[in-house]
Structure 1
Amino acid sequence: MPERGRPYAESRENGTHALRHVYASVLLDAGESIKALAEYLGHSDPGLTLRVYAHLLPSSQERTRNAVADVFDRARPEAPRT
């Protein structure tokens, strides 16, 4: 803990920087776009946001698999109730 009246030492591992990463990862997991996330984070270039957070995006294969599964799930008639 710092002395009274003295600021905390900045650290990228905790504090506001870490909270920004949590915020970004939650939004990406919820399906938010890189362009919108860049705006929310104050990045002037969505390319920067993509370079920093691309590893948090679901893979193209995963999105494709989920999209096709959703179509089949909606098209499947419900089983008769007994």
Structure 2
Amino acid sequence: MSRFLASALVPDLTVNCAAPGLTEVTKMSSGASDAYVGHLNDREVSGRTTSVDDVLEHVQEILVTSMVTGQVLITDGGNHFG
């Protein structure tokens, strides 16, 4: 979807998608069991759950450039490697 929109809207707009992993202090993480969160943390290169600040920092980096479009920004501490 991001790539389709990006190709349709270039050069007027850039389009990217934020794809956070299990994020602290959200409904997604509050409903997860401690065992599940521990399992995910063990798989993450960073060894911890993603914070809202981690996601915001990643998105802010992309907002300042006009040369990145059609990308999915995975912010999950490396969990997608496992």
TM-score by length of 2: 0.26
Q: Would you tell me which structure has more helix in proportion to its own residues?
A: 1
Q: Which has the higher strand share?
A: 2
**TM-score, length-normalised on structure 1?**
0.26
Structure with the larger RCO, 1 or 2 (CA within 8 Å, 6+ apart): 2
